[in-house]
Amino acid sequence: MSALTIKGLKKQFGPAEVICGVDLEVEKNEVHAVIGPNGAGKSTFFNLLSGAFPPTSGEIQLFGERIDGLSPEKIQQRGLARSFQVSNVFVNLSVFENLRCACFKQSHAGYVFWRPAARVREANRRAEEVLEMIGLQALRDVPAGSLPYASQRALEIGMTIACDAPVVLLDEPTAGMSNSETAQAIKLIRQVAEGRTLMIVEHDMGVVFELADRISVLVYGKIIATGKPEDIRNDPKVREAYLGEEAA
Ligand SMILES: Nc1ncnc2c1ncn2[C@@H]1O[C@H](COP(=O)(O)OP(=O)(O)OP(=O)(O)O)[C@@H](O)[C@H]1O
């Protein structure tokens, strides 16, 4: 069964149709990148999948169950978590406290039958696990607002996966990073992708071609091609509409 099945998805803002009938199957455990020019509708597409906006029409299934029209909280409980382009961390809380909050919120949402003490214990355990995974143990007690930018983005990825969702959407995870920071982020994203389905929106084609199992190209709200990186790289439609010389 696919992780996500998207059928005839449309989104209009007033008279403007921004997502114009997207059909897509995202396979379980694949890394699926969505690329496209500025304003193509990539963030809007993620906003529809994660429930930030209701679709105008169409269907979104998560592991075969409809999720379109549900709230972001409900969708997260069903197993789809997302990060944002703009950082979402609490700047005055430490790295560990940020992770604990994200874990606690999730354990509260997902396991209401747990006793409070058990919930706190579980949130602490999971926060330790995620802290290690994102490699920020040395910065554990530093306020998130004082972290270098790349570490803040790593923390944000950690907060996104705190709930251990099987499907994760990352919106421009390497935006604004230097080459060495990007290399570190790629490592982290590979780790995050283990045993999960990952969708990423990313402008850096190096990152996309390195990480993605498959790529969908979104142009003016329509997917013009979906395929393996080498097929996308060589697709004349894609080169004309988007990649140009970048992929040469
Ligand atoms: N809430 C909204 N209300 C009205 N129009 C919107 C809204 N959100 C997005 N749009 C419009 O939808 C179009 C697609 O925007 P979107 O941010 O999804 O594109 P994008 O592909 O993510 O762009 P970028 O690569 O620059 O982040 C744009 O023309 C934008 O102005």
Domains of the chain by residue range: 1-79+165-176+190-248, 85-164
Name residues contacting ligand 1 (CB within 6 A).
Answer: 13, 18, 36, 38-44
Per-residue pLDDT of 122-149, as tens digits, reads: 889 999 999 999 999 999 999 999 999 9
> What is residue 115's predicted lDDT score, i.e. its pLDDT?
64
Residue nearest to atom 26 of ligand 1 (CA): 38
Per-residue pLDDT tens over the stretch 72-100: 989 998 999 998 655 678 999 999 999 99
Question: Residue 163 has what pLDDT?
Answer: 84
236 contacts 230 by C-beta, under 8 angstroms: no
53 Cα nearest atom in ligand 1: 1
Question: Judging by DSSP bridges, how do beta strands 16-26 and 214-219 pair with one another?
Answer: unpaired
% of the chain exceeding 90 in pLDDT: 78
pLDDT at 248: 45
Contact partners, residue 248, CB within 8 Å, separation at least 6: none
Mutate to test the pocket of ligand 1, among 11, 12, 17, 18 (most ligand atoms within 8 A of CB): 18
Token look-up 């570490």 returns 151
Q: pLDDT band at residue 2, thresholds of 50, 70 and 90?
A: very high
Per residue in 22-73, pLDDT (tens digit) is 999 999 999 999 999 999 999 999 999 999 999 999 999 999 999 999 999 8
- Determine the Cα angle at 140 with ends 157 and 163, to 5°: 35
Nearest atom within ligand 1 for CA of residue 218: 21
- In CATH terms, the fold of domain 1-79+165-176+190-248 is Rossmann fold (3.40.50)
Q: How many CB atoms lie within 10 A of CB 224?
A: 17
194-230 pLDDT, tens digit per residue, is 999 999 999 999 999 999 999 999 999 999 999 999 9
Q: Give the C-alpha separation, 199 to 207, whole Å.
A: 13
CA 113 to CA 22: how far, in whole Å?
Answer: 39
Instruction: Report residue 248 as tokens.
Output: 């040469």
